[in-house]
Amino acid sequence: MPFEPRDPDFEARVRASFARQRAMETVGARLVRVEPGGVEVELPFRDDLTQQHGYLHAGVVAAVVDTACGYAALSLAEPGAEVLSIEFKLNLLAPAVGEAIVARARVVRAGRNITVCAGDVYARTQGSEKIVATMLATMLKVGAGGRASSGADVI
């Protein structure tokens, strides 16, 4: 079922927020696609991001798909709201090795304060893709002042 964004400028807001995210800049990830409730983030494979066996480190894989899930949630938030990850589960299905990884995230359910997202990570080699990880993530909507929509403090 397609989602209706609450912010007519959702794509510009998501792209501007991603551009400010230093972690993704540091690892070299880029935002490829933004639509209501869906985001795609791509990371070219780099040797300096691998673990001891030459595969992309699981922490890097987790960071990229968590970011994609967060921005999928943000795409449906009202102007001035932000989102924070409050929980995720990552299943690593195969070693992440190839020319790039691509994280595709989508909103499963967008509630008033909590949004649940799912994300899949694919390793791309010579135009073909193989799934290497899948994530289920929970995002908390926070107001522009850094406080949770429910009034709880954000740590």
Beta-carbon contacts of residue 125 (< 8 Å; ≥ 6 apart): 98, 99
CATH top class, domain 10-142:
alpha beta
| Adjacent-strand bridge partners of 30 | 42
Which pLDDT score is estimated for 112?
A: 92
Residue ranges of the domains in the chain? 10-142
Length of the chain measured in residues: 155
Beta-carbon contacts of residue 75 (< 8 Å; ≥ 6 apart): 3, 5, 10, 11, 14, 34, 35, 36, 37, 38, 39, 107
Which pLDDT score is estimated for 151?
A: 47
For the entire predicted model, the pTM comes to: 0.92
How would you write the pLDDT of the chain (155 residues) with one tens digit per residue? 589 999 999 999 999 999 999 999 999 999 999 999 999 999 999 999 999 999 999 999 999 999 999 999 999 999 999 999 999 999 999 999 999 999 999 999 999 999 999 999 999 999 999 999 999 999 999 985 445 545 444 43
